[in-house]
Amino acid sequence: MPKREKEKTEKQENKSVSKKATGARPKFNKDKFRKFMLGSKEKQGFLKLFCIYGLLICIGFIYLNPILHMISRSFMTLDDLLDSSINWIPSSFNLDNYAQAARSMDFWKSLGLSIIIAGVPTICNLVSCAVIGYGLARFEFPGRNVVIGIIVFTFILPSQVTMIPTYVLYSNMGILSTLWAFVLPSLLGMGINAPIFILIFWQFFRQVPKVLIEAAQIDGAGYLKSFFRISLPSAAPAIITVSLFSFVWYWNESYLTSMYVAGVNVKSGWTSLVIQLDSFASNYSKYAQTASSGAVTLNESINMAGTMLSILPLLLMYFVLQRYFVESIDRTGITGE
């Protein structure tokens, strides 16, 4: 028996050697090819990954192309703009465009006021929306579904419909051309896009296990203590999400800021980078008229530099906080008991 097995193994080895010598190719494995293209339970297929990454690259190009074009144009000189052979990479990086745009926008003062205008209402939004969302999630009372429906309706309703009545109301209250025009509605849960923040907190507090609240109440904790000690610390993902969205929306809001805070008829000292960007041409012409400015004629590069200065703080903020923002989005999907 051992001799026969040795003979069989020798014959098989001779056949394999003869196949290699003759250059015979291995047979095509259809199952492996199908698993490679379509995937399996353990691994995604090539076609699915190709479609996903191709779609993400296309979407990313749509968003990044205008920003990259703006950055490239902001560093160009006037000669580069007139030269048709220069499209993306300027011949020399002209930082003077940013210096002139910053001086005409009064950058540092406008930046500080923008942080106040966007930051203070954001903090008020956090407090009011968290309390309202917690009340809707934890307390059963008649008409709760009606209140939630009204909140959803106010989010769907365009702000242009209520703009004139709101302006008249603020004028009668005497809070026009002051920061109270943004702070007071935020304290009452009616800030910019506040309904969606209430719904975020409402949905998150519904996922907090009721066992924790009941255990705290058995230990003697009241409603406020259980809210501040148990529910609110576990709502860190919702807090980060609401903070970022609220800050960005207040930062980018130019029309309501110029109407309610900066003032239309009565000008106040409040302004923001976005408002300065809206009136960039007139501000730059005033800046260019000063003898010591040394400003050149307004061109596309200076316009692009001013636009970059207005969005640069938001880009830096997102670059620093993107990891926490993504984690908060992931954790808001965790369901409780």
Query: Residues of the chain with pLDDT > 70: what percent?
Result: 83
pLDDT, position 336: 40
Q: How many domains does the chain have?
A: 1
Average pLDDT over residues 28-48: 73
pLDDT in tens, 191-240: 888 889 998 888 888 887 777 777 877 777 777 887 888 788 888 888 88
Compute the C-alpha angle 56/57/61, nearest 5°.
115
202 burial via Cβ count (<10 Å: 0-12, 13-18, 19+): buried
In a domain, 126, yes or no: yes
For residue 82, the one-letter residue type is L
Does the pLDDT value for residue 116 go beyond 90? yes
Q: Summarize pLDDT for 269-287 with one digit per residue, the tens.
A: 788 889 888 888 887 888 7
Cβ(280)–Cβ(309) under 8 Å? no
In whole numbers, what is the pLDDT of the chain averaged over residues? 80
pLDDT tens per residue across span 9-19: 655 555 555 55
Q: Say whether pLDDT at 152 is over 50.
A: yes
- Mean pLDDT over residues 27-45, rounded? 71
284 part of a folded domain = no
Mean pLDDT across the stretch 95-120?
90
Residue 50 makes CB contacts below 8 A (sequence gap 6+) with: none
- Residue 19 resides in a domain: no
Range of the domain at 216: 106-278
Tens digit of each residue's pLDDT (9 = 90 or more) over 216-229: 777 777 778 878 88
Residue 249 lies in a domain: yes
In a domain, 11, yes or no: no
Backbone angles phi, psi at 106, to 5 degrees: 50, 60
Cβ partners under 8 Å of residue 237, min gap 6 = 204, 327, 328, 329, 330, 331, 332
Q: How confident is the model at residue 124 (pLDDT cuts 50, 70, 90)?
A: very high
* CATH number for the domain that contains residue 183: 1.10.3720.10
Is 140 contained in some domain? yes
The amino acid at 318 = Y
Q: Which of 335, 311, 42, 76 is nearest to 206 (CA)?
A: 335
Residue 7 has what pLDDT?
A: 56
Supply 315's token pair: 């880009």
Both structure tokens of 43: 């691994």
Q: Is 297 exposed, middle or buried (0-12, 13-18, 19+ CB in 10 A)?
A: exposed
Which residues lie closer than 8 Å to 324 by C-beta, 6 or more apart? 240
77-93 pLDDT tens trace: 888 888 777 788 888 88
Mean pLDDT of 244-259: 89
The CB-side HSE value for 69 (13 A sphere, CA atoms) comes to 8
Q: How confident is the model at residue 335 (pLDDT cuts 50, 70, 90)?
A: very low
Residue 334 — pLDDT band, cuts 50, 70, 90? very low
Using DSSP's 3-state secondary structure scheme, residue 62 falls into helix
Please indicate, yes or no, if residue 143 is contained in any of the structural domains.
yes
Question: Would you state the pLDDT for residue 337?
Answer: 39
Q: What is the pLDDT of residue 293?
A: 57
The full DSSP string for 170-231 is: HHHHT-TTSTHHHHHHHHTT-STTHHHHHHHHHHHHHHS-HHHHHHHHHTT--HHHHIIIII
Whether 43 maps to a domain, the answer reads: no
| Confidence band of 294 (pLDDT split at 50, 70, 90) | low
CA end-to-end distance (rounded Å), the chain: 67
| Helices 107-138 and 96-105: angle between axes, nearest 10 degrees | 70
